[in-house]
Structure formats: C-alpha cells, structure tokens
Structure 1
C-alpha cells in the first residue's frame, strides 16, 4: 500500500463520497456494522460512519468502536441521516468527533475529513514527542541516580582503612543497583572473598578466581563476572531481558571496580610503607644496641690500655733503680717513659672526644626510635646529620 492516509468507511451505499475520497485516501470500505467491527483497522487515520440507522444502533456502534480502539485515539466522523438528528449530543458523549448531515455538499464533507485527519496526525506527533520526552526523563533520572551511587562510592572508598571495609563498601554499592553479588579482592595482603551475608561461598570464590583473566566481562545466563586487574565481581541477577539497562549496569559497575582497584593498590602501598618502617625501626634498634655494646667495649679497652701503660711505667722505674745506671742514663730512660705516657694520654683524650661524639649519635638515635611513627622533624634530621658528620 502506498503512503496515502487510510480511511475506514462504513456505508451501505456507493457513490460520489467514496469516489471523491478514493482519489486522495486509501479507503477500506465496509457495508455492515458487523463487518466494520470485525475488520477494524487501527492504522486508520479516520473512521467514517455513513448510515441512517436507529438511534440505539448508531450510539452502540460508536461505543463499540471506542472500546476496540482502546488507548488509540482515531477520530470518528458521522454522516447522519434523519434518524440521528435528535441524538447528536449523545453521539458526542459516546466518542464521536464530528457530525454532519449526509446530504451536505461533498466539498464540505471532504474539508471536515481533512481537518480531522490533520488533527489526528498532529496529535500522534505530539504523543510521540511526549513519549520520547518521558523516556528521556526516566533515562536522565536513572542516570542521575546511578551517577549518585558511583560518586558516593568513590567518596567513601578513599576512607577505607583496610581490605575488609573496602570489600563491604563495594558490595553495598552493587546492592544499591538492586543486584546480588560476590566480591573478590586480590593483593599482596592475600585474597579476600566476600558476600553480602558475610559468609564466603567456596564454589563462587573458585569460579571468580578461575575467570579473573578471561576478559572484562564473562557472561553466562543472568550471571556475569566483571574483572578489573585486582578486583572482580560476580553479579548473580543481571537484567538480561532489558538490553539497555543491562549495558548501563555493566558500564556503571565497571567504574566501581576501577575505584575499588585504585584504593586496593593504595592500601597495598600503605601496608608496604608500614612494613618498611617497622623493618627500619627494628634494624635501627638492633644497631643502637650494637653501638652501645661497641661503645662499652671501647671504653673498657681504653681503660685497660691506660692501666697497662701505667703498670709498664711503674715496672720500668723500679728496674731502673736496681740497674745502677748513672744519672744521664736514668734521665734518658725517664724522658722516654714520660714521652710514652704523654703520647698515650693524648691518644686516650682523643678517644674520649670520639666517645663523646659517639654517645651523642646514640642519644639522638634513641630519640628518633622512641617515636612510634618513625617520623623526624626537619630540625631533628639536620641535627642528627650534623652530629654524624662531625663524628
């Protein structure tokens, strides 16, 4: 059929009206009300009822047409005969859009038809625009809601202090979309599998682990595994019957996975820094103990050396007195001994100064290690560095 508008016409007669309208429209002609109701075309732009039946029969037909059309608004144009002259108001109440005497000029009837068809086309276009606007409004509302869920998750996820809290936040965000899911987080801190109920399901955890490298989306029925590096989610009730919603959910949930993965990496880095700080602190405490032991041993050695030198000096002086040396020889030996004592004392004094610097280093290191956060102020760092360089 060509692109002409369709008119369904009920008429028990043929003549000028059908010939005239047939040139401009595609006519579907019925001769009896029963045929009209049985073959009614909802693609029609206009129904024309051209008959002169009794009042009750005509009004009942209009009402039946409206019932069959339902929400589809197709105008009804009645060409009334004598039997309907007193029922125009009732016809309008039943759903008739226009009434004209059947004996009216063909030009006027045609003009009335064109007006009704024009209004029908305009109304259809308006309804289509309203429907489109309504759909766009619902989409916008849905997108806004989804965006709110994602923004809220991204704001909260950076406050997560551990992997358990991160997994629970992710489950809550997925649940906000009306979905049931399992979550798996993989990191140096271990593999964490979580359910909304809190009880891990071994079969689902194994499934996610096996599919973590099989692409971003792995679909099987209503279930879908979504992967992003160290984070995976198994959604158990995807709306596969709604393709548009299905695609939107995938995009939105994937952004949640990206945010969770970024925070998981941040938690890994925090844990690494804490481990390194603990290791440095443990090593530093061990070094401090070793340095204190070395310092104590150093002082003992210095004292022992001084004692040995004094003993040697006393012994030599005692031997000199019994050797019977003349005065010059005794003075020469005494001079040698005095030089040895002075040199030893000088070395001992230098050792004391070195020990004093060493003690300062140990003291400042002790202040540093007494801080649980292993954190030095700029002034403390400069002071300790200066002491070490001077030492």
Structure 2
C-alpha cells in the first residue's frame, strides 16, 4: 500500500523522499492555500513540517491552523526540528503535533513516521470496536456514576495478570470520563507505554518519562500529566473551561491511578515470588551436586591419606634393618617422617577448601532472603 505525504519547508524534496523511502510518495508545498488544495485533491496519510526552514513559531502556527480544518483533524503531523528539548516537545504537543524529530534522531525518521501513521490507522480501525465494547461493559454496571466506575475498576484490576490487561482495564474506566489518554506503567521488570489501542506513541512516552518526577500534576494547555508512584497518565483533552468538571476528573482519575499502582506492585511481587521459586529450585540442585562432589572428594582424601601412611610405614620398615643407625640413617628416617607429615597436612588443607564454593553461595542466598525486601536485580544475578 502506498502512502501520500505532504511536506512544508523541504529544501530538497527528492532527497527527503529517498531518505524516507517506499511506500511514501512526497509532495512539497510552500503555501497554506497550496497545501489545502493538494490535501483536498489527493488524500494524504501524514504531514511533515520542517521547522528548520519555517521557524519554530511559524511551524506551531501552521499546525494550529491545520488542526482547525476538518481534513487535517485526524491526520498525523510530524515536525522536523533543529533541536529536541523537553520544552519544545511540550509546545509541539500542545500545538497538535504527533511527533517532533530532532537532527540527532534523523536516522530513525522512517521508523518514527511509520509509527505515527500506523498508530492513526489502528485508532481508526479500533475506535468503533472499543466504543461498542466499553458501552456494553458499562451498561452491565448497576451504577454508572463515577464512583461505580472506579469501584468496578478496582475490582477488575485484581484479576489482571500482566500490564497489558491492567492498561486496557484502565482505559475502559477512563472512557466513562470521555478522556483521550496515554499511559505509562513502570514496574521493576520493565516499562509499559500504551494508548487505548494497545500501541504506544514515542512523543507521549518521552513526555511522561521526563515528567514522572515533577509532581502529581503537570499541566500545559488542555493537557495534564498525572503521576502516582509507578503510573503516569497523559490526558490530552482536559476540560479546562469547566472548573468543576476539571477538578472532579483530577480527583476521580487519580484514584484510578492509585489502584493501578497497587496492581503494578502486586504483579512485581508475584514475579519476584516466581523468581524466588526458581532460585530455590536451582539452589537445591546445586547443593545436591556440591554435596556429591564433597563426598567424592573426601573419599579421595581418605584414600590419599592411607597411601601416605602406607608409604611412611614402608619407609620405616626398610630403614629399620639399620638398627645401628648412624647419623645418615637417622636423617633418612627423619626425612621420611617429615615428608609424610607435610603431605598429610597438604591433603587435609585441600580437602577443607572443597566446599568453599557451596558456602559462599549459601551465604549469598541467606543474606538475600534475610534482607526483608527481595531485590529483583539481585535475584537475577544469583540465577545467572
């Protein structure tokens, strides 16, 4: 399938088209009216604005104007920018851009454009299905009030076995508030970014990651990022004109994030228990092997000791015929005995060191389990 792309501010449209590659076909324009004419005549899947040529302020104005036109309302718009700072991304997101790609990220231009295009297509395909599914889910609830929605989510999230299920449950609850959101959940074992369609958007993911430690609420324009421990939610259509509804949404949605965080922690604990079980099984197996090696080694030690003693006895027996024992004979007998004693001590010392590996491993496991909280990274290290 071929995709049409409109470009504003391209210095070399052919070079840009080669960089993006098939299946995209680029049309470069310089005027707003020309852009509208092309968009009406030929349906497009993505619009690219080169801020390096147009300037940041002009690029923002273009995007705001285009979003007011019905034909561009759902069309993904990407900015090519000279810089890629957090403030620039926030401004670009507020203006309506779907992604901002700086000069240092031009190597992934094709992948980023693919992502916004496919995300829009997935949204279009799933929008009707999600709406129908959510309506059926909430009709089954005896109480469709905000409280009822939140209580139902808190009940349902306890049955979620992974972050994907938890995220979809949360998006179902958020539909009751008419919110369009992006979600980020940070567990000990990975980070999950997702939209209501199950996919993730790069720009929104970066914003939530960089704002997760900037307070419970980060407001900019009609957008708000709500943070609670391991969960961040980017709301894209906050009703800032209605103070009462605005406050109610913040309060009610925040309780959903608290429930989601509690489930993330529970899933982490469950995963850690699984790792602990695997560790215990491996520990038992290693202990059995170590103990078998120790038994075999000590048997070999005893055999060698017997050989040494026997050799000493043979040496004494051979020397005893010289009962007259001159000085030379005494030194010979003394040397035999000293050699036997040294060999015996050496073998015993080697035997005492055989179980050092087992003791070190058991000490590490004992320290880990006595620490109270099991650290996931420490578990992974021991398993390896």
TM-score, normalisation: structure 2: 0.42
- Which structure's CA Rg is the greater one? 1
TM-score, normalisation: structure 1: 0.42
Which of structures 1 and 2 has the larger relative contact order (alpha carbons within 8 angstroms, sep 6+)? 2
